[in-house]
Structure 1
């Protein structure tokens, strides 16, 4: 079927085929690169948030808790503001009122928490166990599935670094009375110094990563498509001017010569392949004219 097409059509089909193959290969590679880039952008933002939450935790441990810990023995209810994890969670929820961070979620998932709100689910327990089994593992990232959609998460281990933490988490007998009155004696005890008891987890809907990748990919592919369209147009103009028009003129002259109009001329001043073909065609026409003249004389 291709032999019925004109030269320009064949050439355009070849270019489009090459473009489509190239765009499929490069698009797949570019999508992977952009997806990784989007993950890195989200991760960098999340890591800044984790550092901020760690600063809140440290402030609570070193400045808030010393001021209020004596009241824990006399207050009827436990002062949760003395707990670093509680302070970090509350500060983060306040931060989420900012539109830029409204899609981020913060959790301090714990295997054996005092507050059942912090109890790790089965997936989070798996992350914590990985941190516990490999003390050199400092961070985990990935996607997890929820009924409302997938989440992209960044998790870091939480370890008992201070002896002061054990005042509330060693045994029920050593814990403040207000803590027992508020949360009971069943959870949050038996912790050991330097033990990994939970994980800091910041997560964001996976659509955040997907949408960022999709927008970047669409922008790049649009630019590539535009450049390709302009390239096709310029190549077609050059092909028409340098190849197709000279060949059409040469075909017209050949037709005239074939019907006896030997005075038809074809002028081609270029020195490229078309020029060489034109020169050979003119020599053939001259030879044919001389042969016809000799034949006429003999007759």
Structure 2
């Protein structure tokens, strides 16, 4: 089938195949790069926020708690600001008041929390159980669907490493009176030293970032298609003008010579391969004229 096609058609077919393959390969590579970049952006945002919340927790544990710990026995209401988890959560809630961070989420999801606000849901409970079943596991990440859309989460285990934390979480008898007055005696007790009690979970909205990556991919792919199309048309025009039309001209003259028109000349001033072909036809025509004259003389 291909043997019956004209050179121009064959060239167009070849260029079209190259065009399609190039767009597919470049589009796939670009999509992979943009998806990887978007994933890194989401992950970096989550890691930065986790580090910031850990800084708040450490400051509360090392600076705020020692200053206020003695008042926990005398105050009528529990001073929640002495708890690292409470401080980190409150700071993050203040951060969420900014429009840019309103869909970001932070939670120290606890199986048996003192403050029921921190109670782990089914998904978060599974995270805690996974950390408990594999104590070498230091981080979990993935995607989760919320009503606001898909979010990327990073979770770290929270372990009781400080004996002082058990004052509020071992038994109600050891807990500060203000804590019992505020939260009661039912929740947040029975914790043990070196036990994983919670998962620190930061959730970052990812749909917008990945949508932006898709829009960028569509824009760049559209530009590539336009550029390739222009190049294809330009190459097609140049091939027709400087190859196909010149070959057709030589073909036409060759047909004239074949019918006995020896006045036709293969005029071609170019020094390229087609010019060489025209020169060869001119020499062949000259040789044919000489041969015909000799044949006529003998006759």
For normalisation by structure 1, the TM-score amounts to 0.88
Q: Given the alignment of the two structures, is residue 182 of structure 1 paired with residue 182 of structure 2, yes or no? A: yes
Q: For the residues of structure 1 that align with 2:158 and 2:281, how far apart are their CA atoms? A: 86
1:62 aligns with 2:51: no
Distance 2:133 2:222 in 1: 47
Q: CA RMSD in A?
A: 2.5
1:297, 1:89 → 2: CA distance?
Answer: 113
Q: Secondary structure at the match of 2:168?
A: helix
1:197 aligns with 2:184: no
Q: In 2 relative to 1, CA 9–90 (structure 1 residues): closer, same or farther, beyond 3 Å?
A: farther
Task: Provide the rounded CA distance (Å) in 1 between the counterparts of 2:198 and 2:240.
Answer: 71
Q: What is the distance in 1 between the residues matched to 2:139 and 2:271?
A: 67
Structure 2 distance, partners of 1:61, 1:190, is 21
Alignment of 1:69-108 (within 5 A): 69-108=69-108
The structural deviation recorded for 1:26 is 4.0
Map residues 16-55 of structure 1 onto 2, 5 A cutoff: 16-55=16-55
How many residues are treated as equivalent by the alignment? Answer: 299
Report the CA distance shift for 1:5/1:157 in structure 2 as closer, same or farther (over 3 A). Answer: same
Q: What do residues 188-208 of structure 1 show as CA deviations (whole Å, max 9, x unaligned)?
A: 111122222111111123313
Aligned pairs for 1:236-275 (under 5 A) are 236-275=236-275
**Counterparts of 2:111 and 2:33, CA distance in 1:** 36
1:140 is displaced (CA, Å) by 1.5
* Aligned: 1:7 with 2:1: no
Instruction: Summarize deviations over 1:221-280 as a string: whole Å, max 9, x none.
Output: 234334423432442243234311211221232243244432222233444432332233
In the alignment, the residues of structure 1 paired with residue 85 and residue 276 of structure 2 have an alpha-carbon distance, to the nearest angstrom, of 84
Query: Deviation of residue 170 (structure 1)?
Result: 1.1
Say if 2:281 is the partner of 1:281.
yes
CA–CA distance in structure 1, aligned partners of residues 126 and 19 of structure 2 = 46
Identify which range, 173-182 or 13-22, moves more after superposition: 13-22
Q: Match for residue 156 of structure 1?
A: 156
Unaligned runs of 5+ in 2: none
Instruction: Give the 3 Å change call, closer, same or farther, for CA 2–81 of structure 1 in structure 2.
Output: same
User: For the structure 1 residues 96 and 4, does the alpha-carbon distance in structure 2 shift closer, same or farther, using more than 3 Å as the test?
Assistant: farther
The answer on whether the counterparts of 2:103 and 2:148 sit within 8 Å (CA) in structure 1 is no
Secondary structure at the counterpart of residue 153 of structure 2: strand
SS at match of 1:169: coil
Give how far 1:113 is off: 0.9
Quickly say closer, same or farther: Cα 1:259–1:97, change in 2 above 3 A. Answer: farther
User: 1:295: how far off?
Assistant: 5.3
Q: Aligned pair in 2 of structure 1 residues 16, 96: CA closer, same or farther (>3 Å)? A: farther
Mapped pair 1:144 → 2:109: no
C-alpha separation in 2, matches of 1:167 and 1:222: 63
Instruction: Work out whether 1:114 is the aligned partner of 2:82.
Output: no
What is the CA distance between 1:148 and its match in structure 2?
4.6
Shift of 1:12: 2.3
Could you tell me how far apart the structure 1 residues matched to 2:4 and 2:96 are? 65
Does 1:123 find its partner at 2:123? Answer: yes
Kept in 1: contact 2:160–2:196 (CA 8 A): yes
Mean Cα deviation higher: 198-207 or 277-286 = 277-286
Q: Which moved more, 1:150-159 or 1:203-212?
A: 203-212
Report the counterpart of residue 166 of structure 1 in structure 2.
Answer: 166
Q: What SS is found at the alignment partner of 1:142?
A: strand
Check the 8 A contact 1:155/1:202 in 2, yes or no. Answer: yes
Q: TM-score, normalised by structure 2?
A: 0.88
Distance 1:99 1:255 in 2: 79
Kept in 2, the 8 Å contact 1:35–1:209? The answer is no
